[in-house]
Structure 1
């Protein structure tokens, strides 16, 4: 709801009628929220919200089992649609109230208080961003602005909003910075399948060996390929953790415009707008630089087929990571499943614990490096 719009009033009976996937409303005290668009994003699953639709969720927001963060409360405000009127439940009163509100809105438009650019904006008008009070101008490309935030950048970037990010003014560069999720399997899975076949058939020839000393060699049998593949997958999980923790969440020096800009390009944009579906997976061109470097490193350190066998396992790990990451933001895993707990874990990383919970496709490496998101205490 635009700040210049007078709040609508709803009766308890009217709120209670909105209890389906197609229209789901909840109350927070006397404030009414239409959370239909949030159902599939909710880390606890849409069923949890639907069971409480038409009701006050104040107690659930406070917990247990989960106390919602300030970021989560700020996020919820974008779904605010009006106030609960406990004094009058008649439809006639509601109709009169709506007419009164429409009249006030018309007067404000006539006076010029509703800005033309906001009404014609390409963005969703339901936004947790106040365009006139935010530290950046969302009507312009953000990439060249964030570096000027200096010491305010870290706090700003970790206050998530539900708006699409525009990085560049140039249409070609902007289009190149976005990727639909399906391009990851389309580009990389054929390479995974081909290299897996190539490595297995090459090892089957019985000519691949691993030197231990100048005189001692170990023959690498074709049945060792699954083990090498799993080694590569395991290696990727460690690389994933290190990149996420030490590169994507590096503390940027407040005085360095260029490092802040680079951080926003690599990962800050995702934390600012975690549900921008076009920016949840890596563009193949960018990913190919990392993939290519990893391939060169392994093939130069190990016998060719051994190195490629480990590489293809790591490449599969990367595909699984990117697909898992997309699913953790937009999927609805079954309650009690591993992916359900992983989704809740990752969303807590976004909204509460940005300095912990760096595992995405797995929590494995958070344990030895002591970055596990702590359990909540009440």
Structure 2
């Protein structure tokens, strides 16, 4: 809503009537929010919001069971649509209008004193870390959303880290060139379409090769042992386990590197790799790796295995890791857009990942599991949603 546009006013009955999946409104004090678009994104599930539709969610925002982060509060402001009519006066006249009318009855001295107080309060609010509108102002001041962002973010300098970790619910355009822009977007189904046939083919190839009983691994110059086909599941799972470690390391040390404030190019690279996902975490076209970019990671994984393990063993471990990658990308998409059953493993994982986006950006790097967060001490504190 534009600052120059006067907010609409709604009655309590009107707000309460919007209580379905197609139109869900909530209150925060006298402020009215249309959170329909947020229902499927909510980590606690859409039922929690629908159960509070038409009501004040102030207590839920403060907790228990948990206090919502400042990023969550800023995020909510994107759905602000107007103000609640003041029902205490016995009239449908908006509260703001009555206050302005009351102000006309004040003396000049009273109005001057009131203006001084209001200005001071405004300055304090702007400096406050609890200012709900700071992310909106920050976006307007630092970037032009009407232009491609790829070439803008490098100029943010020391403000980049704060800006990129204040998420917004809006699509991002990275490049002006249509073909280049299209190359940065990928629908989720392309991941299984491109990679699963490769997983199936190499799984079959590995199993049938081992089934011949001719694969032997030398331990010494005089002794070697045969690798039977029954070893394939173990080698496959080993590859999957290795991928989970790569997943953690890439997410933590590459995607969450903190680029130097003075380095335009590193900031731009960080934004293209992962920063844009944290700025707009529900951009559905950028939740999985484009096959071209993924092939670089997949190819590197294969080359490392090829030079460290005998040929067929390397392929067995590789195909397990590749399958782990496919599952990783599918789970990541589901954590953003799925609605897992409350109490399930995926429900806890979704809540964990959302906290990574909105509050704990320097922790919670596991996607498919939280396993590696424990030995590296990056576990997000447990909170119930």
Same fold (TM over 0.5): yes
Query: Which of residues 273, 284, 294 in structure 1 aligns to 2:291?
Result: 284
2:271 paired with 1:260:
no
Query: Which of residues 173, 180, 187 in structure 2 aligns to 1:180?
Result: 187
SS in 1 for 2:87: coil
Query: Which of residues 340, 349, 353 in structure 2 aligns to 1:342?
Result: 349
Distance 1:90 1:180, change over 3 A: farther
Corresponding residue for residue 25 of structure 2: 25
Once superposed, what is the RMSD of the aligned Cα atoms?
1.9
SS in 2 for 1:301: coil
Distance, in Å, in 2 between the alignment partners of 1:29 and 1:202 is: 68
Larger mean Cα displacement after TM superposition, 70-79 or 7-16: 7-16
Q: Which has the larger radius of gyration?
A: 2
Distance, in Å, in 2 between the alignment partners of 1:89 and 1:292 is: 69
Which structure 1 residue ranges, 5 or more long, are not aligned? 98-127
Q: Tell me, yes or no, if the aligned pair for 1:12 and 1:89 is still in contact at 8 Å.
A: no
Distance 1:88 1:225, change over 3 A: same
Distance 1:89 1:8, change over 3 A: farther
What do residues 17-38 of structure 1 show as CA deviations (whole Å, max 9, x unaligned)? 1111111111101111110110
Corresponding residue for residue 42 of structure 2: 42
Q: Tell me, yes or no, if the aligned pair for 2:43 and 2:354 is still in contact at 8 Å.
A: yes
TM-score w.r.t. length of structure 1: 0.88
Corresponding residue for residue 11 of structure 2: 11
Q: Tell me, yes or no, if the aligned pair for 1:131 and 1:138 is still in contact at 8 Å.
A: no
Shift of 1:137: 1.1
SS in 2 for 1:218: strand
Shift of 1:133: 2.8
TM-score w.r.t. length of structure 2: 0.86
What do residues 184-221 of structure 1 show as CA deviations (whole Å, max 9, x unaligned)? 00000000011101100000000112221222212111
SS in 1 for 2:382: coil
Corresponding residue for residue 122 of structure 1: none
Shift of 1:374: 1.5
2:320 paired with 1:313:
yes
SS in 2 for 1:168: coil
Corresponding residue for residue 156 of structure 2: 149
2:230 paired with 1:218:
no
Distance, in Å, in 2 between the alignment partners of 1:133 and 1:72 is: 19
Q: Tell me, yes or no, if the aligned pair for 2:86 and 2:93 is still in contact at 8 Å.
A: no
Distance, in Å, in 2 between the alignment partners of 1:277 and 1:71 is: 20
Distance 1:338 1:91, change over 3 A: farther
Corresponding residue for residue 54 of structure 1: 54
Query: Which of residues 361, 365, 370 in structure 2 aligns to 1:358?
Result: 365
Shift of 1:3: 2.0
- Report matched runs for 1:290-301 at 5 Å: 290-301=297-308
Larger mean Cα displacement after TM superposition, 24-33 or 131-140: 131-140
Distance, in Å, in 2 between the alignment partners of 1:320 and 1:137 is: 36
Shift of 1:129: 4.0
Query: Which of residues 355, 359, 374 in structure 2 aligns to 1:367?
Result: 374
Distance 1:360 1:263, change over 3 A: same
Larger mean Cα displacement after TM superposition, 39-48 or 291-300: 291-300
Shift of 1:295: 1.1
